């Protein structure tokens, strides 16, 4: 998978070949096909693995005593730190999502199956704790949060290191979102 991500980062997903991936991994082409039917499956497997690491952080944040804005900002910062070494690949992935939307959609759905349950648990527990208003629909909140995250990821990809503007915008977006979600006294 690491070899594939390297090739995708350099050539893009469409132009990369299984032969190039196999050569980079120092395995036969058939070995790649033993694990993955398509190049897109490699992308999904990589993103699912990365998201699984992020979502473990969700579990830790669920019990956090911080305020809502700091919890959500901490989650996003953790995710961006994990992705820093793969900045170029994330850029390629977003380009694929935007340009091959319909074709890429099944892979996005597969990633959502990993992303959504921990977010549902996080927001539900924050709601039970009183950090999120009771009248907020959790499935809608998850979609809104992911949309904000996608926008921040696009900014992150375009800005590049050291991501000062992305960090500023992330903190401000989470502050504003939290103000709208917090229980009113």
pLDDT tens digits, 91-143: 998 988 889 888 888 888 888 888 899 899 999 999 999 999 999 999 999 99
Asked whether the predicted pLDDT for residue 63 surpasses 70, the reply is yes
Q: Output the CA torsion 4→9→15→16 (10° steps).
A: -20
CATH architecture of 39-181: Orthogonal Bundle (1.10)
Residue boundaries of the structural domains of the chain:
39-181
Q: According to the model, what pLDDT value does residue 64 have?
A: 81
Distances (CA, A) of 108 to 10, 133, 141, 185: 22, 29, 18, 39
* Local confidence band at 62 (pLDDT 50, 70, 90 cut-offs): confident
């Amino acid at each position: 998978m690491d070899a594939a991500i390297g090739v995708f980062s350099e050539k893009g997903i469409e132009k990369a070949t299984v032969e190039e991936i196999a050569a980079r991994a120092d395995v036969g082409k058939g070995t790649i096909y033993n694990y993955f039917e398509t190049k897109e499956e490699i992308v999904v497997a990589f993103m699912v693995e990365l998201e699984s690491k992020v979502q473990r952080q969700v579990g830790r944040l669920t019990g956090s005593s911080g305020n809502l804005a700091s919890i959500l900002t901490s989650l996003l910062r953790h995710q961006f730190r994990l992705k820093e070494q793969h900045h170029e690949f994330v850029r390629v992935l977003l380009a694929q999502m935007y340009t091959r939307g319909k074709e890429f959609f099944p892979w996005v759905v597969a990633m959502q199956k990993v992303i959504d349950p921990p977010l549902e648990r996080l927001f539900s527990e924050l709601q039970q704790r009183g950090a999120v208003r009771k009248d907020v629909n959790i499935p809608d909140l998850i979609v809104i949060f992911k949309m904000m995250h996608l926008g921040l990821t696009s900014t992150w990809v375009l800005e590049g290191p050291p991501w000062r503007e992305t960090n500023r915008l992330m903190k401000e977006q989470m502050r504003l979102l939290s103000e709208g979600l917090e229980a009113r006294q």
